[in-house]
Amino acid sequence: MNQSNLLCTFARYQGDFTPANLAFNANLQEFSQKVSLIVALETGGKLSALAAYEQIEALREVLNKSKKQLGITNHK
């Protein structure tokens, strides 16, 4: 197994296939991975709780923007 695969693991897409859904799924996985890293840095004392919150909030805004641009709507 390649070392870069350990850092960037992605799950297979399981939902209804559309190009927009697939792109949003990739964005969501990237968001999740970045949040995990930020949380680890905060837990390890390398990042303050406020800085972690602000970074996660900024990532959430980017994710919401991509959702709107891709035309993804909430299901049920």
Express each pLDDT in 22-56 by its tens digit: 899 999 999 999 999 999 999 999 999 999 999 99
Cα 24 to Cα 65: distance, rounded to the nearest angstrom: 11
Query: Which pLDDT value is given to residue 55?
Result: 98
pTM for the model stands at 0.79
pLDDT of 75 over the 70 cut: no
Q: What is the DSSP string of the chain?
A: --HHHHHS--PPP-S---HHHHHHHHHHHHHHHHHHHHHHHHHTTSS-HHHHHHHHHHHHHHHHHHHHHHT-----
Cα 65 to Cα 62: distance, rounded to the nearest angstrom: 5
Higher pLDDT, 76 or 48: 48
